[in-house]
Structure 1
Amino acid sequence: MALQQITHLSDEQRDCLDNCLEATQACEWCADECIDEGEGMERCIRLCRDVADVASMHARFMARSSSYSDDLAAVCADACEECADECAQHDHEHCQVCADVLRDCAESCRNMASA
């Protein structure tokens, strides 16, 4: 509901902002769950934490119509793609869900960066 109140955003920007917020949540959840999975999950945890920070920042930049938003969109897309590739290598449900969410986020951020 709040996203509809931000009138300066196009539908594509709203979709990207929503995907970034979902990626933030999925990555925070995945990183937390990976801690309990034990050894061998360090890279997944680090990448998820990076994406959560970058995606959250990108969402905030879009909401305030920052001139840096397009540049950050490219960084966010790269981080999402790398993290999705890492998550996809693990059979854990949280990793698989996270990978799917991140692929959607990467696509919408890529569209924003190339617009």
Structure 2
Amino acid sequence: MALAELELTDTERECIDNCFEAVQACEWCADQCLDEDMDMSRCIRLCRDVADLASDHARFMARNSNYSDELTEATAGAAEECAEECQRHDHDHCQVCADVVEECAESCREMMQAS
């Protein structure tokens, strides 16, 4: 069964897609930050938080969990903070990650408004 076949709204499907993209971008960014000469610990921590939250949030939405709303807010907040941190760094991986997690945060905020 494809995701489109599940009983999800377009907003929910978009949020799930954006969450999984954020997971990938954050895992990549955190890994790349390990090789940087400067202290990237805050960036790495935030990327790891977003990766975990976004993954859980997407899975909870897909199964229509009663806890999805709480994860929506937590994911949006973490993604916004991560985007701000990544934007502070000139590294390509950070800039790409910032853009992706910003989209994730926006779609989570749309989900919150739709609830």
What TM-score do you get using the length of structure 2 for normalisation?
Answer: 0.95
| Residue 4 (structure 2) aligns with | 4
Q: Deviations over 1:72-104 (max 9, x none)?
A: 101100000000000000000000000000110
Moved more, 23-32 or 33-42: 33-42
For the pair 1:58 / 2:94, whether they are aligned, the reply is no
CA distance in 2, matches of 1:50, 1:11: 26
CA distance in 2, matches of 1:101, 1:2: 23
CA distance in 1, matches of 2:2, 2:47: 26
TM-superposed deviation, 1:38:
2.9
Amino-acid identity (%): 67
What TM-score do you get using the length of structure 1 for normalisation?
Answer: 0.95
Amino acid at match of 1:105: C
Residues 71, 113 of structure 1: 8 Å contact kept: no
TM-superposed deviation, 1:39:
3.2
Task: Give the 4+ runs in structure 1 shifted more than 6 A.
Answer: none
CA distance in 2, matches of 1:84, 1:109: 14
For the pair 1:99 / 2:98, whether they are aligned, the reply is yes
Amino acid at match of 1:89: R
Structure 1 spans left out of the alignment, 5+ residues: none
CA distance in 2, matches of 1:102, 1:71: 18
Aligned residues: 114
Map 1:1-115 onto structure 2 (within 5 A).
2-6=2-6, 8-115=7-114
Describe the SS at the equivalent of 2:90. Answer: coil
